[in-house]
Amino acid sequence: MNLDGSTEVYGVIGYPIRHSLSPVFQNKAFRHFSLNAVYVPLEVKPEEFHTAFYGLKALGVKGVNVTLPHKERALELSDFPDHHAKAIGSANTLKFSSEGVYAYNTDWIGFLKALKKLVPELKGLKVLLLGAGGSSRAVLYALKREGSVVYLWNRTWQKACMLCEEFECQVVERPEEVLKDVELIVNTTSSGLREEDRSLFDYNLLEPEHKVMDLIYRDTPLIRSARVKGCECKDGLDMLLYQGIESFRIWTGIEVPYHVVKDAVLEYLEHF
């Protein structure tokens, strides 16, 4: 990488940010097209986000991805939020220009592209969605656009009810209530990040016909149990890559081939 006076700066802003794989594959994408640009991790505490947002603008940074816990604030502070981001209520991609800051949400696109490899036809599909946080909103938005029927479960019942009212889906008190009726199970909760996390439901009740997707991008107890049961499964890595491909397209107008970003991440993970 040759940095010089005209190198464009991009990055990912979050707290914490050390675990992020985005710098790995976004820098690979810039190199692949010989673009004079660099993509850096930007760790910003919640109370500093406002200052950082205007700082990025003043510094002439071209674009950033935004991750936890700043996605809602990023949308609020932007000048031109796109209608998908507004409907989801958060932005994960900002593009800085002389007219102002454009805000997008590419999580829902990343989710759909990844999911369609597992389930090509989503119309009428019965889905059990676990979780009612920020990523659940993007997933719900995507599924409802595709015409899926969503049953939503969340640890905090009230949050599930609020989301269901907004996106017209059905709240369930326990995931087990609808397991027999659904074809797809999607986990958007952070449960499973740590091995000691309790199961979200009795994983012994999974059937080989269930398709299972977990937004966490490595094996979780849910994914492992599903595999043992013979279910087709997918972790969150493809969603991460596809949302990143879409952000890259927004910034540069260029579509990065999937294999370029996938290989970059696999190579990185092999060494760390």
> Which of the stretches 9-17, 151-159, 218-226, 241-249 binds ligand ATR when contact is defined by CB under 6 A?
151-159
Q: Which amino acid, one-letter code, is at 44?
A: V
Q: Which is nearer to ligand ATR, 12 or 61 (CB)?
A: 12
Spatial contact of 66 and 91, defined as CB atoms under 8 Å apart: yes
Window 201 to 260, contacts with ligand ATR (CB under 6 A): none
**# residues near ligand ATR by CB under 6 A:** 17
> Which of the stretches 46-54, 113-121, 154-162, 239-247 binds ligand ATR when contact is defined by CB under 6 A?
154-162
The residue from 132, 186, 213, 216 that contacts ligand ATR (CB under 6 A) is: 132
Residue 89 is a binding residue for ligand ATR (CB under 6 A): no
Residue 136 is a binding residue for ligand ATR (CB under 6 A): yes
Q: What is the maximum span of the chain, computed from C-alpha positions, in angstroms? A: 60
Residue 68 is a binding residue for ligand ATR (CB under 6 A): yes
Residue 146 is a binding residue for ligand ATR (CB under 6 A): no
> Out of 28, 57, 71, 180, which one is annotated catalytic?
71
> Which of the stretches 188-196, 221-229, 231-239, 263-271 binds ligand ATR when contact is defined by CB under 6 A?
188-196
The residue from 154, 220, 225, 243 that contacts ligand ATR (CB under 6 A) is: 154
Could you give the C-alpha distances from 196 to 165, 193, 199, 218, in angstroms and in order?
Answer: 33, 9, 9, 15
The residue number with the shortest CB distance to ligand ATR is 133
Burial class (CB in 10 A: 0-12, 13-18, 19+), 249: middle
What tokens does 175 get? 């995931």
The residues that bridge with 103 in the sheet, in sequence order, are: 81, 94
Would you call 113 a catalytic residue per the annotation?
no
DSSP string, 33-93: TT-SEEEEEEE--GGGHHHHHHHHHHHT--EEEE-TT-HHHHHHH-SEE-HHHHHHT--SE
Residue 191 is a binding residue for ligand ATR (CB under 6 A): yes
Q: Which is nearer to ligand ATR, 96 or 238 (CB)?
A: 238
How many Å apart are CA 243 and CA 118, to the nearest integer? 17
The residue from 7, 36, 51, 156 that contacts ligand ATR (CB under 6 A) is: 156
Nearest by Cα to 76 from 64, 91, 88? 91
How many Å apart are CA 9 and CA 251, to the nearest integer? 11
Q: Which amino acid, one-letter code, is at 233?
A: C
Q: Which is nearer to ligand ATR, 20 or 189 (CB)?
A: 189
> Which of the stretches 2-10, 75-83, 150-158, 250-258 binds ligand ATR when contact is defined by CB under 6 A?
150-158
Nearest by Cα to 111 from 213, 180, 39? 213
Q: Which is nearer to ligand ATR, 107 or 246 (CB)?
A: 107
Which residues are tagged catalytic?
A: 71
For binding to ligand ATR (CB under 6 A), which residues are involved?
Answer: 68, 131-136, 154-156, 159, 188-191, 197, 200
